[in-house]
Every structure is written in structure tokens, then in C-alpha cells.
Structure 1
Amino acid sequence: MAFISLEDKHLTVLNLFTTDAPEHQDRLVEEMTKIVDAATYEGWMNSTVHAGVDSLGTCNFIQWRSGEDLERRYEGEEFKHRTLPVFGEITTSIKLLQNEVAYTVTSDALGGKVEIGPHRDDYTVLGVFSVTDDGQDEAIDALGKGQEFLAEIPGFRSHVVLKGLRARGLDGKFVVSYAQWDSKEAYEAYRDQASEQQSAAREKAQSRVSAVSAGEPYINTYTVVHSRSAGE
């Protein structure tokens, strides 16, 4: 399991893969699980594998001690000559995103603690927002403090905003949102709320993000299927 907080200052890596067939998603989960279970990389802390729900694909949420540790992994022979070729055969896109946690909010029931793992039943929603060169801070504030109202929405559990630092497979500045909900129904009730019923705070936040957007966001939903931490 993993915990997400502002205080820990870990490097958070999101490896996002898309694919075009259910059997390819199954293979992705299988291959990612093998890597996670065998991981002994210096500086690696934990990995949590997510399986796509609305769209086929996977997300691996990984915490590293530092960017230097991660780069050693990327430069290794195993990553270059086995890991990337295997995933290249069964994916339609690969994005390797390095981030730092910029904001968190939870429902009262979670008491400020964000935990992820297969022992939970979270319905997870992840969004990647490409933004203008000078719009990253604005997007972080709009998606973070600008959406503090989420804590009052029925079915909401937690919301994390991550500042994009660097990436492979994605150009330009970006911001990531990672949210947990009670269920698919709770999230979709919020997502599909009629515009005339939306709060002024929600409309303002959406407008602020749109103003610094550099393209359509990538949004998908997931369930957590596997997790392991160093030392387990």
C-alpha cells in the first residue's frame, strides 16, 4: 500500500499505458505485476498497479526516493532491452510522468489521509492536463484549492493534484489529478451534473483550467489491482 502526502516529498511517477484490446490490458497488468513483485531497485519505494475501466489501459503509481534513482532504472539494460520492448508490443501509447505532490484534500471520513491499494474499493479517476508554459501554477491552484468544495460532494473520498516535472511520451507542461470516489455511480453523478445545477465554485475552477489548457485532458477511470512496497 502507499500513502500520498505533501510532507513526504517523494518523487511520484505515473506510468500510463493505453491499449486496444481487453487481452492486452490483461497482459499489461500481468507484466506490470511481475515487475513490481521482483522490484529491488535502489530508491524504489512502492508501486500500485491500476487497471483501466472506462478506457483500456493501465496506470502504475510509483513512489521513488529521488529522480536520480529513477534515472538509474531508466538507464538499466533490463528497462531498455526487456521492459520497453515488451510493453511496446501491447500498448498504443506510453507516458512516463514524473511529478511532485502539490495539493491534497479528503472527505471528513478519511481525516486527511490518502491511502491507495487493492485492499480498498476506491473508484479512481485520473486526469492529465497539458497546460501552457506559464499556466502550470494557475492550473494547480484551480484544480487544488479551487476545488476544495469536492469535500462536500456525496461519494467523494480524496483528491490529489500533482505538479508535472518531466515526462517521456508527453511534451510541454502538465498537471495531474488523482481522485478516489466511493463508486462509479457517485463519480458519474458528479461528472454529469447539469451545468445549471453546478456551483459557482465549480464553474470558476473549470473556467480557470480551460484558460491555461494546451489541449484536451486525458481522463480515465481505474481500479487498483496490485501493490507492493520495498521490503515486503
Structure 2
Amino acid sequence: MPFINPEDGYLTVINLFKTDALERVDRLVTEMRSIVDTADFPGWISSTVHRGQEKPGTANFIQWRGKQDLESRYSADEFKHHTIPVFKEITTFVRLMQTEVELGQRHPSLGGVTEISPDRDDYTAIEILGVRPSDQSDLIAVLGAAHDWLVDVPGYRSQSVMRGIRSRNLEGTGGELKTVGTENDFVVVYSQWDGKESYDAFRALAGDEQPAARRKSRDRRDSLTTAADRNTYRAVHTRSASQPVVA
């Protein structure tokens, strides 16, 4: 099963898809499963498909050996002339985000490294935070420090923070991808909870009822963040390369 571990040094690609109808989510999952089940790309390590819970959509958490392997995948005719047209047809929003894992933190009772798998019962939140490139490291530090008070929040399991490198969508021409924004202008937070009830209670707690450490963390985070997008997910399918790939 895939693990989120900063020490692995993988290029982590999070492909975020939104759509406007639940039936299209079914097709998104089917198309993603088909790609994952036949994946045999040089440098590909793992893919884990997540189905949106609060909003219609999917997220694919993919690990690669490095950028060159990913670019080879994107330049292949099959990707340009089959994969892109299929996903353009059934989505309303796409972001293909290259990241590197900066922090992988877990509740002390869990130990080890963060595992992602449909065999687990994690309720997963993925947040995409816009940030000025000059503030990216500061935002990562603030998010990482939040773990100190998150451990006291009922239902919290883990938080992984990823430094955004480059973001693209499917709006290019001739099968090419289009760059979105600038390099290093986003951060991804991938967190795991024991269920929807715990996560919703965490989100719903009024500001004046929050512990002082959380309020301070929230205010600093808000001062550094230029945009925010969030959805919750369940992992529904995963597959890893049969042989380990050295990063």
C-alpha cells in the first residue's frame, strides 16, 4: 500500500477533478480505475483514487520517481489523444498538481508513517491553499506547527503537508497541458480523520470557542493564504508498482 513519507523523496502528483453530476463521478472513478489497473509507466510508483464526499469529484494521489518520468507520461500520444479528451468531457474543473511532501505527521497513538488505502476507514480532507511564492515556506511552517494542537482534537489521525511545485489543467492545445498560476504558489494539506462526524465537529467549532493556539494558528494561516479550496474523500482504489522504484 502507498505511504506518505517525506524521506522517500517522491514526486507526489495530486490530480483534482470536479464535475457537476453524481453520475459523472461514477464515470470518473471508472476511468481512473482503468488507468490505475493498467499503469506500467517508467518511474510510476503508486496511484490511489479518492471519491469526493461533500462535493462531486475525485482526487488521484500519485507517486512518481521524478519529474522526468511524469513529463514522459504527459507527452505520450495515449495521454494527449485519449486521456485528456475523456476527462475534458466529464469534468468541470481539473488541476494536475506536482508537489513534494514536506511534513508527514500522525497522532502519537498511531506511530509509523501515514498509509493511504481503501482498506482503511479514513475520512480524508484535501485542502488546496493558494499562497504567494515568497510566503510558501512560512505557510508550511504554520501548518506543520498546527499538529501540536491537532493532536488534542477528537478524531484527528494525520496531517501531511505538501509544497506545491507546479499546477496545470487540460485547457492547452494539441493535447498539451496549460500551466495554472506560477510555480510554488500553492500548498496541499492531506489530513485523515476517524469519520465525518469528527471532521465536521472540528470544522464547525466557533472561533470564540477554539483554543487560543488554534485561533492564533488560524489567523496566521489566513494572513498567508490567498485562496482556499477543500473537499472530503474516501479512498476507493489503489495500486502500486510490482517492483520498488528508487527515487
Q: Which one of 212, 216, 235 corresponds to residue 200 of structure 1?
A: 212
Counterpart amino acid of residue 218 in structure 1: D
Of the structure 1 ranges 66-75 and 146-155, higher mean CA displacement relative to structure 2 is found in 146-155
CA distance in 2 between partners of 1:44 and 1:150 (Å): 33
Q: After TM superposition, which residue ranges in structure 1, 4 or more long, deviate above 3 angstroms?
A: none
CA displacement 1:27-77 (0-9 Å, x = unmatched): 000000000000000000000000000000000000000011000000000
Q: Which runs of 5+ in 2 are unaligned?
A: 170-179
CA RMSD in angstroms, aligned pairs only? 1.1
CA distance in 2 between partners of 1:148 and 1:64 (Å): 30
Residue 174 of structure 2 aligns with which residue? none
Matched, 1:4 2:4: yes
CA distance in 2 between partners of 1:141 and 1:199 (Å): 19
TM-score by length of 1: 0.97
Instruction: Give secondary structure in 2 for the equivalent of 1:54.
Output: coil
Counterpart amino acid of residue 191 in structure 2: A
Q: How many matched pairs?
A: 231
Matches within 5 A, 1:157-168: 157-168=157-168
Deviation at 1:139, TM superposition (A): 0.9
Residue 23 of structure 1 aligns with which residue? 23
CA distance in 2 between partners of 1:171 and 1:200 (Å): 34
Deviation at 1:213, TM superposition (A): 1.7
Residue 187 of structure 1 aligns with which residue? 199
TM-score by length of 2: 0.91
Deviation at 1:195, TM superposition (A): 1.2
- Give the conservation status (yes or no) of the 8 Å contact 1:157–1:182: yes
CA displacement 1:101-160 (0-9 Å, x = unmatched): 111211122114200011001000000001113110111011112342112211111000
Residue 224 of structure 1 aligns with which residue? 235
Residue 223 of structure 2 aligns with which residue? 211
Matches within 5 A, 1:118-197: 118-169=118-169, 170-172=180-182, 173-197=185-209
CA distance in 2 between partners of 1:189 and 1:31 (Å): 34
CA distance in 1 between partners of 2:63 and 2:104 (Å): 16
CA distance in 2 between partners of 1:194 and 1:209 (Å): 17
Deviation at 1:168, TM superposition (A): 0.3
Q: Which runs of 5+ in 1 are unaligned?
A: none
